[in-house]
Amino acid sequence: MALVWQYRTSFPASCAPPPTKEWVRTSQTSIVTECELPPRWFKPLFKCWSPQNHRTGSLLPLKPDSPEQADERDFEREYEKLQKLEDQTKKLHKDMKKSTEADLAMSKAAVKISADLLSNPLCEQDQAFLESMTALDTAMKRMDSFNQEKVNQIQKTVIDPLKKYSGIFPSLNMAVKRREQALQDYKRLQAKVEKYEDKDKTGPVMVKLHQAKEELRPVREDFEAKNKQLLDEMPKFYHSRIDYFQPSFEALIRAQVVYFTEMYNIFSDLTEQIDQAGLTDEQREKETEAKLNELRALSIVADD
């Protein structure tokens, strides 16, 4: 005979099952057998209702989490933080490498441009232009040299430490995998013990129960040791990131300050060498536009 439960038809929104043709309804109550209850509503329904409280419609209090459930939730939270930290560290390492590569490419391109200008035929005909291009070429080479020093400094103080820090995570992930394997072994043997505990307490069953418990004990101790170690050390590892990275970021800032200070000095010297006329940018723009208009006025470039 199927188990019969009686309950009020006024369910809370969170527990109310949808109406189906399989349900037998009366004016005030409904009789539902276990086999008639839609499967997807069976579990939520009996979390909220029981024969003792069906008249009042009150909710049953949820069971408090067991220590194992609380530990598992703490473990997942801490491990998720470390996974995000691993992803962010790898991304930062990749971005820093791209940044230094772009810096080097920029300074090398500047040196190439100044060298091309210096080899321009105009330099053979105009002494003033030759002196300006020579000053520019010297400035670009100095810039490239300081840029190389900056990149080397960033490589040693930022990029290499990031790479070493990222190298720790595979060992951490392996420890997590060993803990997960120990957990699965623990659950399997725990289920075996519970199976024998649910059977009639005959002699053979009691012997098998004792054997299962003996088999479970070292596996449980192994899991608990691995779990405790990770729960103790993962937060420490996560919080240590500040002490580890702070010197690197301070070194990055110092390297940038030194570099841009030198760039200010280099280009200030260059400006004094090539800006003999003392013209403003607006005056230079007007002068360039006037020269361009003169070229446009030539018959060989005039529009048809």
Q: pLDDT tens, 137-179?
A: 999 999 999 999 999 999 999 999 999 999 999 999 999 999 9
Mean pLDDT, residues 19-24 taken together:
42
The answer to whether residues 24 and 141 belong to one domain is no
The answer to whether residues 243 and 133 belong to one domain is yes
CA distance 50 to 55: 10
CA distance 249 to 154: 9
The answer to whether residues 264 and 181 belong to one domain is yes
Asked, for residue 208, whether it belongs to a domain, the answer is yes
The answer to whether residues 73 and 36 belong to one domain is no
- Give me the DSSP letters along the chain: ---EEEEES---TTTPPPP-TT-EE-SSEEEEETTTS-HHHHHHHHHH--TTTTTTTPPPPPPPPPHHHHHHHHHHHHHHHHHHHHHHHHHHHHHHHHHHHHHHHHHHHHHHHHHHHHTSTHHHH-HHHHHHHHHHHHHHHHHHHHHHHHHHHHIIIIIHHHHHHHTTHHHHHHHHHHHHHHHHHHHHHHHHHHHHHTS---HHHHHHHHHHHHHHHHHHHHHHHHHHHHHHHHHHHHHTHHHHHHHHHHHHHHHHHHHHHHHHHHHHHHHHHH--S---HHHHHHHHHHHHHHHHTSGGGS--
Asked, for residue 263, whether it belongs to a domain, the answer is yes
Query: Is pLDDT of 82 > 70?
Result: yes
**Segments forming the whole domain that contains residue 19:** 4-48
**Whole-number pLDDT of residue 28:** 42
Asked, for residue 185, whether it belongs to a domain, the answer is yes
Tokens of 178: 């060993």
CA distance 223 to 252: 43
The answer to whether residues 133 and 30 belong to one domain is no
The answer to whether residues 196 and 265 belong to one domain is yes
The answer to whether residues 115 and 173 belong to one domain is yes
Tokens of 172: 């951490």
In which residue are the tokens 């951490």 written?
172
Distance of CA 120 to the CA centre of its chain: 51
Asked, for residue 286, whether it belongs to a domain, the answer is no
**Whole-number pLDDT of residue 66:** 59
The answer to whether residues 15 and 73 belong to one domain is no
Asked, for residue 182, whether it belongs to a domain, the answer is yes
What is the residue-averaged pLDDT of the chain? Answer: 80
Query: What residue type is assigned to position 273 of the chain?
Result: Q
Lowest mean pLDDT among 51-55, 144-148, 239-243: 51-55
Mean pLDDT, residues 10-24 taken together:
45
Number of domains comprising the chain? 2
Return the CATH number at 204. Answer: 1.20.1270.60
Model confidence pLDDT, tens digit, residues 208-240:
999 999 999 999 999 999 999 999 999 999 999
The answer to whether residues 101 and 142 belong to one domain is yes
**Whole-number pLDDT of residue 284:** 81
The answer to whether residues 143 and 196 belong to one domain is yes
CA dihedral 18, 21, 26, 30 (to 10 degrees): -50
Mean pLDDT, residues 285-299 taken together:
86
Tokens of 257: 């300050």
The answer to whether residues 119 and 256 belong to one domain is yes
Mean pLDDT, residues 117-141 taken together:
87
Query: What residue type is assigned to position 280 of the chain?
Result: T
In which residue are the tokens 């018959």 written?
299
Asked, for residue 288, whether it belongs to a domain, the answer is no
Asked, for residue 303, whether it belongs to a domain, the answer is no
CA distance 86 to 168: 9
Asked, for residue 248, whether it belongs to a domain, the answer is yes
The answer to whether residues 40 and 72 belong to one domain is no
